[in-house]
């Protein structure tokens, strides 16, 4: 979604719009997967993500972020490659590891708009799959989006137009979440990580090529 928004709205407007939309979309994912949430992961992630999202929001408000979108694309591609190396296949993330992960994700999310693909390999490495992965990752994203919106608002980066765009996209994301939940029941658990990796790879290529 980010490449499309950057192309149509520009970087400065697209990040706040995407944040509003993602907040709505992630809240719907949390609601649909509420029974599978891992709260131990969520609060540890939030411990690092909230303060760093504040810092990232301030950086975004003062610095052009276009070059960082391309950097994110390169990083996503490298993450997929890493998961298939000897080190990547054996990587395990402890609960304590989610606090520094949250700190990195918070600042990058505020600058780049989205880090769902970035943090995905670490949630998968912890052993979260299916509804537990989707719901838990979504709840960690909610903590970042609320923090980011507060910072963006303080720098007057959010207006009526931004909210309307974000709410419209968010409404469509709710429908997508509902349909995705239905499809998820038909996906074998062993295939799920590969679907995520393909998504990461395609997203990364789009970010790099568009820039």
Tens of pLDDT, residues 34-46: 999 999 999 999 9
State the Cα–Cα distance between residues 33 and 189, nearest whole angstrom: 16
Give the domain extent around 146: 2-210
Of 7-11, 36-40, 203-207, the range with the lowest mean pLDDT is: 7-11
Number of structural domains (the chain) is 1
Tens of pLDDT, residues 137-170: 999 999 999 999 999 988 888 888 888 989 999 8
Mean residue pLDDT across the chain: 86
């Amino acid at each position: 979604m980010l490449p499309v928004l950057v192309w149509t709205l520009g970087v400065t407007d697209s990040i706040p719009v995407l944040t509003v939309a993602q907040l709505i979309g992630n809240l719907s994912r949390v609601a649909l997967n509420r029974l599978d949430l891992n709260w131990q992961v969520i609060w540890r992630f939030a411990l690092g993500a909230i303060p760093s999202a504040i810092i990232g929001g301030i950086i975004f408000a003062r610095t052009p972020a276009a070059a960082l979108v391309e950097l994110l694309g390169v990083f996503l591609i490298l993450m997929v490659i890493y998961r298939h190396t000897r080190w990547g296949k054996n990587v395990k993330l402890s609960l304590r590891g989610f606090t520094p992960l949250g700190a990195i994700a918070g600042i990058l999310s505020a600058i780049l708009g989205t880090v769902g693909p970035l943090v995905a390999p670490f949630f998968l490495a912890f052993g979260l799959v299916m509804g537990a992965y989707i719901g838990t990752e979504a709840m960690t994203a909610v903590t970042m989006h609320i923090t980011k919106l507060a910072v963006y608002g303080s720098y007057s980066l959010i207006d009526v137009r931004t909210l309307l765009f974000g709410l419209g996209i968010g409404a469509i994301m709710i429908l997508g979440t509902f349909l995705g939940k239905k499809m998820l029941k038909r996906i074998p658990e062993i295939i799920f990580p590969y679907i995520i990796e393909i998504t990461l790879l395609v997203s990364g290529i789009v970010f790099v090529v568009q820039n």
